[in-house]
Amino acid sequence: MDSDDEVPTLIPHQGVPDNPQPSYAPKRAVKVPLTIITGFLGSGKSTFLKYILTEKHGYRIAIIMNEFGDTADIEGRAISVSSRDEPAALATEFLELANGCLCCSVKDSGAAAIEKLMRKQGAFDYIMLETTGLADPGPIAAMFWQNEDFSDEIVLDGVICVVDGVFGLKELTSENRLASRRYFRS
């Protein structure tokens, strides 16, 4: 056997005691990961989230659904919080926003709604935030690194854009549609 093929012998580290004493340093809190789900109206965002809630993955996921509708009822203007473990929470708990749109100029109201959710820390492992189909996810994402209160508790894990498999390409190549979106203007 060549010397390069031999497994080296492990040497015990002299600095680690056999019976380590408990640390008195404050425990570092685990940040709750948050993923923003975005996409055009009817692209399948809610269907995607319903699938995640019904799948047996072992995580307790808080879903924030930012519904947008023409009706004036509270469900059309609210953020609702639900969990696979507590499906009734969808119908009983609402964190209301004034205009029903988290991404608009009411950034502080959206932040207050998420802060209210974070008071239940330990009740969930993960947060998924569904924007409306009319939302620009940029200001929402920026809120998580501009708001100092969130930086200790929440980490923006990612942004997922759901695209309709049948009409997605048609929507993206339509000049009228692109002209109406400010981030595609030339």
pLDDT tens, residue by residue, 72-84: 333 333 444 444 5
Give the three-state DSSP class for 110.
helix
Does residue 137 contact residue 156 with C-beta atoms inside 8 Å? Answer: no
* 8 Å CB contact between 61 and 83: yes
Domain that holds residue 146: 32-184
> Is 20 a member of any domain?
no
Task: Tell whether the model's pLDDT for residue 13 goes beyond 60.
Answer: no
Amino acid sitting at position 85 = D
Domain count, the chain: 1
Q: Is 61 contained in some domain?
A: yes
State the burial class of residue 66 (Cβ atoms within 10 Å of its Cβ: 0-12, 13-18, 19+). buried
Quick: pLDDT tens for 91-144.
Answer: 334 343 333 323 222 334 566 667 777 777 677 788 888 887 777 888 888 888
Please determine, for residue 2, whether its predicted confidence score (pLDDT) is greater than 50: yes
Instruction: Give the DSSP H or E segment for 89.
Output: helix 89-92
The answer as to whether 159 is a domain residue is yes
Specify if 38 maps to a domain: yes
What pLDDT, on the 0 to 100 scale, is given for residue 162?
Answer: 92
**Residues with Cβ < 8 Å from 145, sequence gap 6 or more?**
151, 156
Most confident of 25-34, 39-48, 125-134: 39-48
Contacts with 77 (C-beta within 8 Å, 6 or more apart), sequence order = 67, 69, 96, 97, 98, 99, 100
In a domain, 155, yes or no: yes
Check residue 51 and give its pLDDT: 83
Task: Report yes or no on 14 lying in a domain.
Answer: no
pLDDT of 29 strictly over 70: no
Q: Which of 179, 143, 181, 177 is nearest to 159 (CA)?
A: 143
For residue 80, give the CATH number of its domain: 3.40.50.300
What pLDDT score was predicted for residue 159? 93
* pLDDT for res 18: 59
Question: Dihedral through CA 78, CA 88, CA 122, CA 112, nearest 10?
Answer: 10
Residue 9 lies in a domain: no
Answer whether residue 26 shows pLDDT above 80: no
Instruction: Evaluate whether residue 4 is within a structural domain.
Output: no
Report whether pLDDT(6) > 60: yes
Find the largest Cα–Cα distance for the chain. 79
